[in-house]
Amino acid sequence: MNILKIAAFSEGQTGGNPAGVVIGDTLPSTAQMQAVAADVGFSETAFAAPIDGGWRVRYFSPQSEVPFCGHATIALGAALALRHGDGVFALTLNQAKITVEGRREGNVIAAALQSPPTRSAPAAPALVAEALALFGHTPSDLDARIPPAVAHAGANHLVLALHSRQALSAMRYALETGRALMQRAELTTIVLVHAESAQRFHTRNPFASGGVYEDPATGAATAALAGYLRDLGWPHGGAIDVVQGEDMGMLSRLHADISPVAGSSVRVSGTARVMAA
């Protein structure tokens, strides 16, 4: 089995979020995919096999299957472009059909995904209180302009907006406590976000549900955040830029294009770099 290791949403030849990519004639068994993902050790590994002119895709973290992963989709788009040339590739996920495009640009591959449809709803006060306690925050740390919400773009993410960059940088939490919270609330990640401006955001993404303390770049969460900002009537002007991984020393850059149509797909783009095979 050939496993590509590709960092998605990179800053040129540095940074980004590493993902495993396995492309085969058929998908391995669920048990095999889970074992490979655990062995690779990245937050997600994408498995793809041809189906009906496109690709059947499943995503696994080291501890569980996830319904959708943005950075692994970007990594897959890069891998497909390397194998089949620049193009747009149709992907069939467990619960949605999306596309990813990839094109080579020198030493990196530019890639963009169209997320599943988005939706959002206010977060329950009990969930917000538990999440704030997990990170040692209080309601006074929140940015009232972006109220806590559960945002969805293929998976559920709790959005907590902090009013200061310093509060974001100080993120600490207990992994097992976070895992229990996320599993109980059916959250894939928690999105801690600071709005530097109307179109530029800094985020951090605890991924305890998958056994990973933090993701340095999270395309699915960025799509969910963008969809929520649209629902909120935020003055995004049709696009946002997200800086992630900076506090981990893995600077990553994500761009989201937001159509005015409520609930519609969000286009998330960036570059990817091949790490190893």
* Structural contact between residues 160 and 131, judged by C-beta atoms closer than 8 angstroms: yes
Could you say which of 64, 93, 114 is where a domain stops?
114
**Domain coverage including residue 220:** 119-265
* Same domain as 46, residue 153: no
* Structural contact between residues 153 and 115, judged by C-beta atoms closer than 8 angstroms: yes
Active site residues per annotation: 44
Determine, yes or no, domain membership for 277: no
pLDDT per position as a tens digit, 179-204: 999 999 999 999 999 999 999 999 99
Domain count, the chain: 2
pLDDT per position as a tens digit, 58-103: 999 998 999 999 999 999 999 999 999 999 999 999 999 999 999 9
Between CA 241 and CA 200 the distance in angstroms is 5
* Same domain as 49, residue 137: no
Q: Is the pLDDT of residue 230 over 80?
A: yes
Strands 189-195 and 156-161: parallel
* Same domain as 125, residue 83: no
Question: Residue 35's domain is classified under what CATH number?
Answer: 3.10.310.10
pTM of the model: 0.93
Amino acid identity of 46?
A: A
Identify the pLDDT of residue 242: 98
pLDDT per position as a tens digit, 7-60: 999 998 999 999 999 999 999 999 999 999 999 999 999 999 999 999 999 999
Average pLDDT over residues 132-151: 98
Identify the pLDDT of residue 82: 94
* Same domain as 176, residue 56: no
* Same domain as 235, residue 250: yes
* Same domain as 23, residue 154: no
Helix (H) or strand (E) holding 272: strand 266-276
Identify the pLDDT of residue 73: 97
* Same domain as 256, residue 181: yes
Identify the pLDDT of residue 276: 61
